[in-house]
Amino acid sequence: MCSGRVDPVFVLQAFEDGADGVLVAGCHIGDCHYISGNLQTKERLENLIKSFEILGIEKDRLRLEWVSAGEGQKFQQLIIEFTKKLRELGPSPFNKKVIANPTGGGV
Ligand code: FES
C-alpha cells in the first residue's frame, strides 16, 4: 500500500530470484498517506545502493521514483526508460539462469 513497506531485503530477494532490475515507485514527497513512508524508503534504498558495489550489482539496476496514480504517461515513460537501461546493462549477474548458462540468457 505504501512504498514505505518496501524493505531492502525485498529488493535483494528480487535480485536473488533473477530480477534484472527493481523499480520502487512511491507517492510524491509530501503526498504519502502514511506521512513519511516514502522518505523512509528513500533513506533505506540510498543506504542499500551504497552496498551494491560490494555486492557486484550496478546501481542503475535499482530505481526509486515518485509517481502518482494520475501520472500514467510519466509511469509509462519511466517503464520504457528503465527497461531500456536494463537491456543496456544486460542480465543481472545474480540471475540464476545466467549463472547456470553464462553464454545464454537475456533480459
Ligand atoms: S502511501 Fe506512502 S508512498 Fe504512497
Written as one string, the DSSP assignment of 28-46 is: PTT--TTSSHHHHHHHHHH
Q: Which three cell numbers stand for residue 30?
A: 509530501
The CA distances from residue 51 to 25, 40, 55, 59, in Å, are: 21, 17, 6, 9
User: Is the CB–ligand 1 distance for residue 91 below 6 Å?
Assistant: no
Q: What is the pLDDT of residue 87?
A: 97
Ligand 1 centroid distance, CA of 29 (Å)? 9
**CA torsion sign, 33 to 37 to 41 to 42?**
positive
Longest dimension (CA), the chain: 47
What does the alpha-carbon distance between residue 103 and residue 12 come to, in Å, rounded to a whole number? 24
Ligand 1 centroid distance, CA of 54 (Å)? 30
User: Could you tell which of 23, 32, 40 is best to mutate to test the pocket of ligand 1, judged by most ligand atoms within 8 Å of the CB?
Assistant: 32
Q: What is the pLDDT of residue 1?
A: 87
Q: What is the pLDDT of residue 23?
A: 98
Q: Running along the chain, 107 residues long, what does each successive block of 10 average in pLDDT?
A: 96 94 97 97 97 93 96 98 97 73 56
pTM of the model: 0.87
User: Is the CB–ligand 1 distance for residue 97 below 6 Å?
Assistant: no
